[in-house]
C-alpha cells in the first residue's frame, strides 16, 4: 500500500456510512491519509464525518470539473469516489485528465454511464445482449399497444424513486404519461426485490458480488435489508457486469420470482445501503484502497449470509460558534 492516500468523496450529501467506511479502511490498513468530502450544501450530513470538507458548485456547473481538480491538487488527493448519477458521465469522460495529476477514479467509461443513467438505453443494451430485463416502452410505443396491467412508470433519467408510480389501469396510465416528465413504462415485476452490490477492479475484473434483499425501501433507498448468497443471482450479475464492462462499484436492481431473475435498473456507483455489504465482510472501500497498488484477488461469495440491517435516523447539531456534533457525541 501507498504510505499515504487522501480520498475525495464528491457529492457526499447523506453518504455518512460511505465516508465513515473509507476513514475506517485507511485506519485498518495502517495507511496515512484523510477522507475529504465535497458538496454544494454546507449542511450536508456527511461533511460532519469527513476529516475535511469543501463546498463546491453543482455538478452541472461548467466549472465543476476544474474546481474538483483544484481540490485534488491542493489536498494531494490520489483516489476520487463519485457518488451520484449526474457525475458519472463527467468523471468517466475526464478519467485520463485526473490520472495525469495522480488521481485514480474507479468509475466506468462515459458511454457506460450514459447507458445506465438512461433507463431506455439500459433496456436496449440488455435486450440486445440477451440479458434479463423488464420490458420497457417509451410513451409513443406504449400508446400504440394494448398493454397488460399492472405496469410501472418512472422518469427515463432519474433516481431516488422520485416520480415513480405503479399503474393499475388505462386511466392511470394516461394520467401519468402526462404527469411524469420524459417517462418510461415497464412491466410491473412480481417477486422479491434485490440490489446486487458489485465491485470491479480498474481492468474490469469482478472482485466481489453481494446480493441484498430489499425488505423495506424509503425514498428509493433500502431501509431494511438482508444479504443472500444466491449463486444464480451472483453469477448472472457477474455476467451483466462483464458485458457492461463495469469499472469500480456498481449496483444492479432486480426482482426474483420463482427463481427467475429480471433486472430493471443499473447504477454504476456505490449503492445507498452499501453499509450492509461492508458489514457482511465485503469491504469495498478497503478493497479499493488495496486496488490502488495493483491487483486484488476476487472473493466471490465471501460474505456473511442472512445478515439483516435495520436503519434509523441520526441527527447532527450545528452551533452558532461553528461547531457541530452528531447525536450521542459528548462534550461542549
Residue 160 predicted with pLDDT over 80: no
| 90 in Cβ contact with 69 (< 8 Å) | no
Cβ neighbours, 10 Å, residue 177: 16
Alpha-carbon Rg of the chain, whole angstroms? 20
Looking at the predicted structure, is the pLDDT value of residue 319 above 70?
yes
Q: What rounded mean pLDDT belongs to the chain?
A: 94
Phi/psi region, residue 130 (left: phi>0; alpha: psi -120 to 50; beta: rest), is left
Phi-psi group of 120: left, alpha or beta (phi > 0 → left; psi -120 to 50 → alpha; rest → beta)? alpha
CB atoms within 10 A of CB 194: 24
* Proportion of the chain above pLDDT 90, given as a percent: 89
Q: Which residue has the higher pLDDT, 4 or 227?
A: 227
What pLDDT is stored for residue 255 in this prediction? 98
Pairing relationship of beta strands 52-55 and 35-39 according to DSSP bridges: parallel
Q: Which domains does the chain have, with CATH numbers?
A: 7-105 (3.40.50.20), 135-187 (3.30.1490.20), 191-310 (3.30.470.20)
Q: Are 69 and 52 in contact (CB under 8 A)?
A: no
3-class SS of residue 181:
coil
Q: Shortest CA distance to 316 belongs to which of 55, 23, 48, 50? A: 48
Give the H or E element holding residue 146.
Answer: none
Residue among 294, 299, 296 at smallest CA distance from 104: 294
Measured CA to CA, the distance from residue 207 to residue 200 in angstroms comes to: 5
Report pLDDT for 295. 77
State residue 1's pLDDT score. 56
Mean pLDDT across 222-249: 97
* Rounded Cα distance, 76 and 89, in Å: 23
Q: Distance between CA 5 and CA 106 in Å, rounded?
A: 14
Strands 79-81 and 7-9: parallel
Q: Average pLDDT in the 151-163 region?
A: 88
**More confident site: 296 or 159:** 296
Helix/strand/coil percent split, the chain, to 5: 30, 25, 40
Using the structure block, give the residue that is written with the C-alpha cell 448519477.
85
DSSP 147: P
Share of the chain above pLDDT 70, in %: 97
Left (φ > 0), alpha (ψ -120 to 50) or beta: where does 33 sit? left
Dig out the grid coordinates for 60 from the structure: 452541472
Residue predicted with more confidence, 132 or 324: 132
Q: Does 332 score more than 50 pLDDT?
A: no
Alpha-helical (H) ranges within the chain are: 16-28, 64-75, 85-93, 95-99, 110-117, 119-128, 139-142, 170-179, 231-244, 274-279, 284-291
Q: List, for residues 2-44, the tens digit of each pLDDT value.
A: 568 999 999 999 999 999 999 999 999 999 999 999 999 999 9
Amino acid at each position: 500500500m501507498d504510505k499515504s492516500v487522501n480520498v475525495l468523496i464528491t457529492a457526499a450529501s447523506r453518504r455518512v456510512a460511505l465516508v465513515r467506511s473509507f476513514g475506517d479502511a485507511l485506519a485498518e490498513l495502517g495507511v496515512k491519509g484523510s477522507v475529504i468530502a465535497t458538496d454544494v450544501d454546507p449542511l450536508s450530513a456527511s461533511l460532519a464525518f469527513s476529516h475535511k470538507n469543501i463546498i463546491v458548485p453543482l455538478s452541472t456547473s461548467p466549472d465543476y470539473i476544474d474546481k474538483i481538480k483544484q481540490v485534488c491538487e491542493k489536498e494531494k488527493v490520489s483516489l476520487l469516489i463519485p457518488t451520484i448519477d449526474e457525475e458519472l458521465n463527467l468523471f468517466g469522460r475526464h478519467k485520463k485528465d485526473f490520472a495525469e495529476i495522480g488521481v485514480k477514479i474507479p468509475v466506468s467509461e462515459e458511454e457506460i454511464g450514459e447507458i445506465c443513467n438512461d433507463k431506455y438505453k439500459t433496456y436496449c443494451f440488455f435486450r440486445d445482449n440477451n440479458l434479463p430485463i423488464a420490458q420497457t416502452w417509451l410513451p409513443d410505443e406504449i400508446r400504440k399497444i394494448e398493454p397488460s396491467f399492472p405496469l410501472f412508470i418512472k422518469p427515463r433519467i432519474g433516481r431516488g424513486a422520485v416520480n415513480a408510480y405503479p399503474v393499475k389501469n388505462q386511466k392511470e396510465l394516461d394520467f401519468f404519461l402526462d404527469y411524469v416528465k420524459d417517462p418510461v413504462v415497464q412491466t410491473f415485476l412480481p417477486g422479491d426485490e434485490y440490489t446486487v452490490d458489485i465491485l470491479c477492479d480498474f481492468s474490469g475484473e469482478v472482485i466481489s458480488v453481494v446480493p441484498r434483499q430489499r425488505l423495506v425501501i424509503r425514498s428509493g433507498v433500502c431501509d431494511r435489508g438482508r444479504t443472500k448468497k444466491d449463486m444464480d443471482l451472483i453469477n448472472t450479475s457477474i455476467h451483466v457486469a462483464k458485458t457492461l464492462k463495469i469499472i469500480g462499484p456498481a449496483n444492479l436492481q432486480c426482482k426474483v420470482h420463482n427463481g427467475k431473475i429480471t433486472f430493471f435498473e443499473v447504477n454504476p456507483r456505490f449503492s445507498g445501503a452499501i453499509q450492509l455489504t461492508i458489514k457482511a465482510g465485503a469491504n469495498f472501500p478497503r478493497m479499493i484502497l488495496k486496488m490502488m497498488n495493483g491487483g486484488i484477488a476476487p472473493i466471490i461469495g465471501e460474505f456473511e449470509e442472512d445478515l439483516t440491517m435495520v436503519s434509523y435516523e441520526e441527527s447532527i447539531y450545528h452551533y452558532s460558534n461553528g461547531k457541530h456534533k452528531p447525536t450521542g457525541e459528548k462534550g461542549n
